[in-house]
Amino acid sequence: MMHTFRICRVLILIIAIGGTLSAAVFAGGSKEREAEAEQAATEVPAEGGEVDEAVLAEMREILAEIGIQTFRSSIQAVDFSLPRLDGGTLSLTDMTGEFVFLNFWATWCPPCREEMPSMEVLYEEMADMPFRMVAVNVREDRATVQGFIDEFGYSYPVLLDRDGTLSTNYGVRGIPTSYFIAPDGTVLGMLLGTRYWDETENVAAIRRIVEITAEL
């Protein structure tokens, strides 16, 4: 019965986004998906102090240990400036010097909803450290997103990609999709699909990267 539930959940996601994701892509990406993401991520690079390649390689290795698809080359993330749900705007360059967890999601997405409580735990675990978790809502109105966040009480920053421009720039085809960005704006890797971020190994891995970031 659990197996049937998981299959149904995946089918719901695919139908909802109107995509044609293959099983391989949904499970964690492919070389074609990686190439597409790399191309998107180099269009408008974010500015930041360069991090030594050896340090970037160490960060990639840590992410790979927990199953994150890492990028082989050093590519710069697409900069952006989006409205925050709680007012004002936030850009990627505002987060220079911090390790960034950039997540794309929507309120109608069951896997997103499943993942978000564990994201809140990770966010709280990394409080007062050079870590930024940013949840980018894709193509929904402010009232819908606000009602959802108020209902569940998530405290990490939520941005509004109302026309889908940022998700397009990042080559997002399915949600949730998360990107992991080094303090200098280098894209370290990405994950397509749900992850339980409150699991011990995931918290430990992110903490190791954030501790490296703090030493830069």
Reply yes or no on whether the pLDDT at 37 is more than 70. Answer: no
Domain range list for the chain: 2-215
Q: Write out the E strands in the chain.
A: 69-76, 81-83, 89-91, 99-105, 131-138, 158-161, 177-181, 186-192
Nearest of 28, 25, 44 to residue 170 by alpha carbon = 44
Tell me the pLDDT tens digit for each residue of 100-152.
999 999 999 999 999 999 999 999 999 999 999 999 999 999 999 999 999 99
Protein fold of 2-215: Glutaredoxin (3.40.30)
Q: pTM for the whole thing? A: 0.80
CA distance 14 to 110: 11
Which pLDDT score is estimated for 35?
53
Residues in the chain: 216
CA angle, 146 as apex, 135 and 132 as ends, to 5°?
Answer: 25
Least reliable range by pLDDT among 34-43, 58-67, 79-88, 154-163: 34-43
Tell me the pLDDT tens digit for each residue of 148-190.
999 999 999 999 999 999 999 999 999 999 999 999 999 999 9
Which pLDDT score is estimated for 106?
98
Exposure of 215 in the CB half-sphere (CA atoms within 13 A): 9
Assigned token pair, 80 = 């952006």
